[in-house]
Amino acid sequence: MRKKEETIVVDTPVARLLTKAINASSKSQVQLCGEVGLRKSNIISMFKQGRSPFPITRAAAFSNALDIAEEELMIAALQSTYPAEWRELASIIASAVEQGLAN
């Protein structure tokens, strides 16, 4: 079995989070792919290296498979893929919470 550690090529929040979670997991990339519904395990390496955008629609599956908080993974994915939009959304959410509008 190959060593799980890889170099992050494009340093993003989601690449760092996935690298840490996958390296700590006892699951192989092939097992992980099966659990999250992906066909080719090399895409896992590409996510970890920051070479491929993380599919936000798979955040729930990855969080379950890697035992990490879905919210943390979703935020990291948004920060990585849509940084400007995430900053705006985070500001709006913070304002809504301050005003008691978020339940």
Domain residue spans of the chain = 13-98
Placement of tokens 């760092």 in the chain: 16
Residue 6 has pLDDT above 70, yes or no: no
Copy the structure tokens of residue 58.
């798979």
Which is more confidently placed, 4 or 88? 88
Do the beta carbons of residue 35 and residue 62 sit within 8 Å?
no
| Confidence (pTM) | 0.83
Q: At 10, is the pLDDT very low, low, confident or very high (cuts 50, 70, 90)?
A: confident
29: Cβ–Cβ under 8 A, 6 or more apart, which residues? Answer: 4, 22, 41, 42, 44, 45
Taking domain 13-98, whether its CATH number is 1.10.260.40 is answered by: yes
Structure tokens at 8: 């992050």
Please report which confidence band the pLDDT of residue 103 belongs to, taking 50, 70 and 90 as the band edges.
low
Closest to 47 in 3D by CA, of 5, 82, 78, 16:
16
Burial class (CB in 10 A: 0-12, 13-18, 19+), 81: middle
102 pLDDT tier (thresholds 50, 70, 90): confident
